[in-house]
Structure 1
Amino acid sequence: MKMPKNNVYTVSRLNGEVRQLLEGELGRIWLNAEISNFAAPGSGHWYLTLKDNFAQIRCAMFKGKNRTVTFKPANGQQVLVKGSISVYEPRGDYQLIIESMLPAGDGLLAQQYEALKMKLAAEGLFAADTKRPLPSKIQKIGVITSATGAAIKDVLHVLARRDSSIEVVIYPTQVQGDTAADNICRAIQLANARLEVDVLLLTRGGGSLEDLWCFNNEELAHEIYNSALPVVSAVGHEVDTTISDYVADVRAPTPSAGAELLSQDAESRAERLAGFIARLKQGWQHYQLKTEQRAQALENRLHRQDPKRKLEQFQQSFDEMQIRLNAAINDKLNRSALMQQNLDHRLNQQSPRHRLTLESKRLDYLSARLNDGIKGKLHDVEMSLKNSAHQLETVSPLATLSRGYSITQDESGKVLLNAQDVHSGDTITTKLLEGELKSRVI
């Protein structure tokens, strides 16, 4: 086999280039998923897995970032995270480096709002040079809003007070709910088809981000941008800003301010100045948005080249080894404890204490048998001794003497059985039951 001369990678080089490729192509992303395998070692970093019903990805959130999280993550919790795709080079695993984390639901609308704003800005829908000027003489205003809401009442009240000659055409529509954006689009289309008014005022009262969500619709943004009639957006309160405010030709902070902007009186110059200021602010916001985009791109490039990422890789590797070491130590301790239990059990089974107890019982049993045997033997010996004594007593000379008999011995102590065994002059001794007699034979 011929060895290739070029493009021979080491594993480290391959993983490093894959990491740079992933980080450069995808950049930062948002991910909505469920937490599992959450771990927070002593280093302060977080390691977890994000999953849905069909797939999962390993993630890391380092100490400097997770301090901003306002809740305690838990397994099974649904979260919305922002981060960048990377590769953990020592193991060759691709993973998500998390920069921010929110509970799912909280912040999801805000993230979608920011994503749509960035997209439409890139498409040029917010550009100041595309804004249409308002007519110098406004005689008829088309108001797109709810026919029963507070906004239309405020608009009619301001117009009646400032310039009662202005005619108002109301294009009633929903301004809240899932179908509201489609209804508003149809109202704009209807107004452009009729061309019966000089300008359109898109308005409603204030509310939460969810309440105003229909004004953050991409189709509605394109409808406003493509409208032949100038559009003034006066949605919510002064602090509320929607996508329709960015796309519209002029933005008014409130419904009443929108009506004042479109009506002419002694204050028209000031109001026109306010409109110019609003357009200036809008242009500045557009410039600021482009600057933020460029800064974000530069930050992404810097992020990919940041040596801190390499340090984070080492920290993650260290934490992983620490987790594995702790697991190995715990496993070793558990196995040692189990082995000790088994040895204790075997030692108890082989303990001489049980053997000694058994032998002690056996010794007591044998001692009892020995005592019984000794007693029996002594009794037998005693009985035998008594029998022997009785027999001895029966044949004893003393017994014979006690019956009146006597024993006669010569001088040498020989018992005389025949009178012829002695001679005249011999001394003989006669033993009686009590005492003895010495005699001389004559």
Structure 2
Amino acid sequence: MKQPENNVYTVSRLNGEVRQLLEGQIGKVWLNGEISNFAAPSSGHWYLTLKDTLSQIRCAMFKGRNKTVTFTPKNGQQVIVKAAISVYEPRGDYQLIIESMLPAGDGLLAQQYEALKLKLAAEGLFAANTKRPLPSKINKIGVITSASGAAIRDVLQVLKRRDPSLEIIIYPTQVQGELAAKQICQAINLANSRLEVDVLLLTRGGGSLEDLWCFNDEGLAHTIYNSALPIVSAVGHEVDITISDYVADLRAPTPSAGAELLSKDSQDKQQRLITVQQRLQQSWSHYQLNQQSKLQQFAYGLQKQDPKRRLQQFEQLFDEMQLRLDSALANKLYQAKLRQQQLQSRLERQSPTQVINLEARNVQHLSSRLKQVMKDIMARKQQQFNSQAHQLDTVSPLATLSRGYSISRDQQGHILTQAGQCQSGDIMTTQLAQGEIKSKVL
């Protein structure tokens, strides 16, 4: 087979070009998944796997990014991540470089909010030149909100205090829940068909992202954009910014502030200044949003030449080697500990202490048996001795002497059994049971 002369890749070159292709063509994605194999080495970076029931992908989140995460990730937790697709070149594995992470519930809403905001901005719904100016003289104000909420009470109180001559028409609607967005659209269309007010105030009190979600509806955004009547959006608190705020002709930070913007008093000039400031801030926000979109496009192109990604590759390789080293050391220590336990068990089985203890118990047992045998032998010998002593006592001459008999001996100590054994004048000794008698034969 002939070797090709051109376009021969090295493995490193191939992985590098695949990484640039993935990063440049696909860019950043939102991903929903379950965390597993979470690791946080001493470098401060995070490594994890995101999975669902059918597949999984490795992820890295570097310490500059994970500091913004407000919770501690755990294995088994469902999360939403915004990440860039990349390739870990040392292994040729494709992976995600996570930029932001949210719990699954809030994260999904935030993802949908960001996606819709970018889409509507691209369609021109936020453009400053499409905003309708407020009427120079306002006699009637239409308020679209809940008839029983706190917002309507605040709005009516401010309008009564600042300009009691204003006529207020309330278009009651739900401002939370699945039907709220549709009802708000119907209220706006109703006000536009009647043309009985000079301006509309769309408002409600503060709440969570989920509570205010009806104001992030795409249909509502188009209804606000297409309204012939100018609309002031005063939804939530100052920190709450909804899609309706971006599309409306003017945004007020609170319901009370919205009522102040639409009413005049001795501070009318100051309120106009506030209105101009609000428009300026809104225009600046729209400009920032457009510039952010352009910046993201430039960032995708810059990633191909970004040395930071190469540095992150080396940092990830270092962390991977460190984790493998920690795992190998832990396994080595476990094996050594297991081997020590096995040797300890063998040593205990071969220890002379056990043999000595066993032999000591045997010696103690034999000693006890020996003492018992000796005791039995002594008892038998004592019994035999007593029996023989009794027999001896029955034939002993001492017993005969005790019955009154005596034993006579000549001077040489010979026992005299016949009278003819002694002569006149001989000295003899007679032994009695008690003592002796010496006598002379006559």
- Superposed CA offset, 1:351-403 (max 9, x none): 9999999xxx9xxxxxxxxxxxxxxxxxxxxxxxxxxxxxxxxxxxxxxxxxx
Deviation at 1:16, TM superposition (A): 0.8
Q: Which moved more, 1:84-93 or 1:307-316?
A: 307-316
> What is the CA–CA distance in structure 2 between the aligned matches of 1:249 and 1:336, rounded to whole Å?
74
* Cα distance change, pair 185–91 in 1 and its aligned pair in 2 (3 A): same
* Cα distance change, pair 207–66 in 1 and its aligned pair in 2 (3 A): closer
TM-score, with length taken from structure 1? 0.70
Q: How does 1:134-145 map to 2 (within 5 A)?
A: 134-145=134-145
Deviation at 1:12, TM superposition (A): 1.7
Number of residue pairs the alignment of both structures matches: 362
Structure 2 counterpart of 1:276: 276
Deviation at 1:92, TM superposition (A): 1.3
Structure 1 counterpart of 2:234: 234
Answer yes or no: is 1:11 the counterpart of 2:11: yes
Answer yes or no: is 1:97 the counterpart of 2:97: yes
> What is the CA–CA distance in structure 2 between the aligned matches of 1:89 and 1:260, rounded to whole Å?
59
> What is the CA–CA distance in structure 2 between the aligned matches of 1:311 and 1:298, rounded to whole Å?
20
> What is the CA–CA distance in structure 1 between the aligned matches of 2:285 and 2:274, rounded to whole Å?
16
* Cα distance change, pair 272–290 in 1 and its aligned pair in 2 (3 A): same
- Superposed CA offset, 1:244-281 (max 9, x none): 11110112233233233333555444433332222122
- Indicate conservation of the 8 Å contact 2:131/2:248, yes or no: yes
> What is the CA–CA distance in structure 2 between the aligned matches of 1:321 and 1:305, rounded to whole Å?
26
* Cα distance change, pair 2–203 in 1 and its aligned pair in 2 (3 A): same
TM-score, with length taken from structure 2? 0.70
Amino acid in structure 1 at the alignment position of 2:40: A
Structure 2 counterpart of 1:387: none
Which SS does the other structure have where 1:305 is aligned? coil
Structure 2 counterpart of 1:221: 221
* Cα distance change, pair 265–87 in 1 and its aligned pair in 2 (3 A): same
Structure 1 counterpart of 2:53: 53
- Superposed CA offset, 1:117-168 (max 9, x none): 3332232211110101122333332221111223223333444444444433
* Cα distance change, pair 356–314 in 1 and its aligned pair in 2 (3 A): same
* Cα distance change, pair 195–6 in 1 and its aligned pair in 2 (3 A): farther
Structure 2 counterpart of 1:41: 41
* Cα distance change, pair 46–284 in 1 and its aligned pair in 2 (3 A): closer
Report sequence identity in percent.
73
- Superposed CA offset, 1:39-86 (max 9, x none): 233444322111122221101223443344444332112233333211
Amino acid in structure 1 at the alignment position of 2:192: N
> What is the CA–CA distance in structure 1 between the aligned matches of 2:353 and 2:25, rounded to whole Å?
75
Structure 1 counterpart of 2:198: 198
Structure 2 counterpart of 1:259: 259
> What is the CA–CA distance in structure 1 between the aligned matches of 2:160 and 2:276, rounded to whole Å?
24
Q: Which runs of 5+ in 1 are unaligned?
A: 362-442
Q: How does 1:143-222 map to 2 (within 5 A)?
A: 143-222=143-222
Q: How does 1:45-124 map to 2 (within 5 A)?
A: 45-105=45-105, 109-124=109-124
> What is the CA–CA distance in structure 2 between the aligned matches of 1:277 and 1:349, rounded to whole Å?
89
Amino acid in structure 2 at the alignment position of 1:221: A
* Cα distance change, pair 76–266 in 1 and its aligned pair in 2 (3 A): same
Q: How does 1:298-377 map to 2 (within 5 A)?
A: 298-328=298-328, 330-331=330-331
> What is the CA–CA distance in structure 1 between the aligned matches of 2:140 and 2:197, rounded to whole Å?
5
* Cα distance change, pair 149–321 in 1 and its aligned pair in 2 (3 A): closer
Which SS does the other structure have where 1:31 is aligned? strand
> What is the CA–CA distance in structure 2 between the aligned matches of 1:219 and 1:286, rounded to whole Å?
20
* Cα distance change, pair 163–317 in 1 and its aligned pair in 2 (3 A): closer
RMSD: 3.5
